[in-house]
Amino acid sequence: MANLIFTQPADDATLADWQHIHNVIIPTDVLSLEEVRERAGRNHLVVAYRDGEPVGCMTVRPPAGGNPTTATVIARILPAHRRQGLGEQLYQRGLEHARALGATVIETVVLATNEDGLRFAHARGFTEFDRYILPGDTIAYVDLRLT
């Protein structure tokens, strides 16, 4: 399994790497650099690099508000780098971070058209509990919970 270097974005270059990966995988929700900066202020973001190349990104939404024990872990790997064990490394890192924040319930969100992402989540024990389309979108998001 290839080793990854995980970096928490701290400057515009790494934030732009996270942004690029997100925007490739979630084309229905293209984010500006300013929006990524805002997300970095409330979520734990990570970029995964292999041989200096950004190959994946992760978001951990910490437990908060009405769900003080629930965290959301979203791991994304660019299509050209999938099925090489990279997603597993990224996901495990996010899972560890969420649990360190006190989460006992882990959820994720996958775009319904991302068949690889849905397969990945189901293979790790996630089950679907909601499906919704955001205003102005045409593709559903799938909420899944680790069971």
Alpha-helical runs (H) found in the chain: 12-25, 33-42, 86-100, 115-123
Is residue 91 pLDDT above 60, yes or no? yes
Residue 67's pLDDT band (cuts 50, 70, 90): confident
How would DSSP label each residue in 108-146?
EEEETT-HHHHHHHHHTTEEEEEEE--TT--S-EEEEEE
> Please, are residues 52 and 42 in contact by the beta-carbon 8 Å criterion?
no
CA dihedral (75, 90, 25, 10) positive or negative: positive
pLDDT of residue 1: 56
Compute the average pLDDT of residues 28-48: 96
What tokens does 37 get?
């900066």
What are 125's two structure tokens?
């024990």
Q: pLDDT tens digits, residue range 114-128?
A: 999 999 999 999 999
From CA 137, how far away is CA 139, in angstroms rounded? 6
Q: How many other CB atoms sit within 10 Å of the CB of residue 144?
A: 23
Q: What percentage of the chain exceeds 90 in pLDDT?
A: 90
Phi, psi of 135 (to 5 degrees): -55, 130
95-107 confidence digits (pLDDT tens): 999 999 999 999 9
The overall average pLDDT reported for the chain is 94
More confident residue, 67 or 83: 83
- Mean pLDDT within 8-32: 96
Is the separation of the CB atoms in 123 and 101 below 8 Å?
no
Taking 70 as the threshold, does the pLDDT of residue 14 lie above it?
A: yes
| Contact residues for 139 (Cβ-Cβ < 8 A; gap 6+) | 28, 111, 112, 113, 133
| 2 burial level (CB within 10 Å; 0-12, 13-18, 19+) | exposed
Mean per-residue pLDDT for 77-88? 94
* Domains of the chain, first to last: 5-106 (3.40.630.30)
Q: What is the pLDDT of residue 64?
A: 83
